């Protein structure tokens, strides 16, 4: 018999207190009441996961394959991608897994990959924008963009738009309730940042990788809302989520102090990836769009800062359109 769901007030309190909610304690308390997903919930669906060669991306890909999805691993290092493919096949021998190389910090490479994907695939039923970075210093990409902005915001915008024909094909109008789903893996760190469209490339003041990360994770949440509106007519839904705090190579390498301090409390990668997998597989998120999720529930998008203005939101859209030269989205 499943455990009862956590009362809403207790769940919200966990969220606001941060440590209990984001750590594995929050996951364990909430997940006890979750109904199981059908083992074939994603049969017949093809889902691409970026940054699939490590941490949450690998766990997401394993989880999706375990529910029957064909998974496209979008990775910057083919060897690491092949190793992930082997890992998935070891857990799910029947899984269909492809590896595709793409450096998301390079917009030209994103275009090249999208073209290749449109050549190879018939449809895409899901896209998980998981790849992420937390740089120690300000780095510029081949197109001259700050690395976090390019990887977390510009590449997902461009990739979503370039893969739109496949996502459309994955959202047949005669099957309402099964739209293609785009999911942004943001971060609870986004609560610490407002939408900074005044200095998106982080050229003013002393650069902090942590601040650049949080700013662009905030942008992801707003961008998911904007894309949700933009893609509604195409039948595609768009959500963002945050995984809580999970033990991954990224956290160990980029935040060694935090990793040491929180070690025993960190979620496993699988627990951190759970909501990204659920957003692709469950019924409920197929019937709404533009929400921000954590542990299978929609969450507020603002605690510390007020909502961004319509002008600021429009500025983010213009930034993405201009940086990617997307004439159709103007």
Ligand X SMILES: NC(=O)c1ccc[n+]([C@@H]2O[C@H](COP(=O)([O-])OP(=O)(O)OC[C@H]3O[C@@H](n4cnc5c(N)ncnc54)[C@H](OP(=O)(O)O)[C@@H]3O)[C@@H](O)[C@H]2O)c1
Residues of this chain that bind ligand X (CB under 6 A): 51, 53-57, 76-77, 80, 103-105, 130-133, 151, 185, 187, 242-243, 245-246, 248-251, 272
Q: How far is the CB of 205 from ligand X (least distance, A)?
A: 22
The DSSP result for 21-59, as a single string, is: HHSHHHHHHHHTTPPPPPTTTTTT-EEEEETTTSHHHHH
Question: Looking at beta carbons only, is 130 or 171 nearer to ligand X?
Answer: 130
Question: Looking at beta carbons only, is 51 or 179 nearer to ligand X?
Answer: 51
Alpha-carbon distance of 70 to 309, in angstroms, equals 40
- Look up 303 and say whether it is catalytic: no
Q: How far is the CB of 248 from ligand X (least distance, A)?
A: 3
Alpha-carbon distance of 75 to 212, in angstroms, equals 22
Q: How far is the CB of 242 from ligand X (least distance, A)?
A: 6
In angstroms, the Cα distances linking 197 to 115, 147, 210 are 30, 16, 17
β-pair partners for 100: 74
Q: How far is the CB of 233 from ligand X (least distance, A)?
A: 28
Cβ–Cβ under 8 Å, residues 186 and 215: no
Q: How far is the CB of 209 from ligand X (least distance, A)?
A: 12
Mark 22-39 as b/e (b = at least 16 C-beta within 10 Å): bbbebbebbeeebeebee
Question: Looking at beta carbons only, is 125 or 129 nearer to ligand X?
Answer: 129
**Strand ranges in 163-282 using DSSP code E only, listed in sequence order:** 181-185, 237-241
Q: How far apart are the first and last CA of the chain?
A: 52
Task: Kindly name the residue from 191, 202, 213, 303 that is annotated as catalytic.
Answer: 213
Question: Looking at beta carbons only, is 68 or 156 nearer to ligand X?
Answer: 156
Question: Looking at beta carbons only, is 187 or 324 nearer to ligand X?
Answer: 187
Cβ–Cβ under 8 Å, residues 117 and 72: yes
Q: Of how many residues is the chain composed?
A: 330
Active centre residues (catalytic): 213
């Amino acid at each position: 018999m499943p455990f009862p769901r956590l009362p809403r007030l207790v769940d919200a309190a966990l969220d606001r207190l941060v440590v209990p909610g984001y750590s594995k304690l929050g996951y364990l308390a909430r997940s006890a009441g979750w109904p199981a997903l059908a083992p074939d919930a994603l049969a017949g669906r093809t889902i691409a996961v970026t940054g699939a060669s490590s941490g949450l991306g690998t766990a997401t890909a394993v989880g999706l394959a375990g529910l029957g999805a064909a998974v496209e691993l979008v990775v910057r290092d083919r060897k690491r991608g092949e190793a992930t493919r082997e890992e998935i096949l070891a857990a799910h021998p029947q899984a269909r897994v492809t590896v595709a190389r793409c450096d998301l910090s390079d917009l030209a490479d994103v275009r090249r990959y999208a073209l290749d994907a449109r050549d190879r695939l018939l449809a895409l039923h899901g896209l998980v924008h998981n790849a992420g970075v937390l740089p120690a210093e300000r780095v510029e990409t081949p197109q001259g963009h700050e690395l976090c902005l390019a990887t977390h915001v510009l590449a997902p915008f461009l990739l979503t738009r370039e893969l739109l024909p496949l996502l459309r094909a994955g959202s047949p109008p005669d099957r309402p309730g099964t739209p293609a789903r785009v999911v942004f893996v943001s971060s609870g760190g986004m609560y610490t940042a407002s939408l900074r469209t005044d200095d998106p490339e982080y050229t003013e003041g002393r650069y902090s990788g942590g601040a650049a990360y949080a700013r662009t994770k905030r942008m992801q949440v707003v961008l998911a809302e904007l894309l949700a509106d933009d893609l509604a007519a195409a039948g595609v839904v768009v959500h963002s989520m945050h995984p809580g705090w999970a033990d991954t190579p990224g956290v160990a390498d980029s935040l060694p102090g935090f990793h040491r301090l929180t070690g025993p409390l960190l979620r496993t990668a699988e627990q951190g990836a759970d909501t990204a997998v659920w957003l692709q597989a469950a019924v409920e998120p197929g019937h709404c769009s533009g929400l921000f999720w954590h542990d299978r529930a929609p969450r507020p998008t603002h605690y510390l800062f007020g909502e961004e203005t319509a002008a600021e939101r429009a500025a983010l859209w213009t930034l993405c359109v201009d940086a990617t030269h997307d004439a159709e989205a103007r």
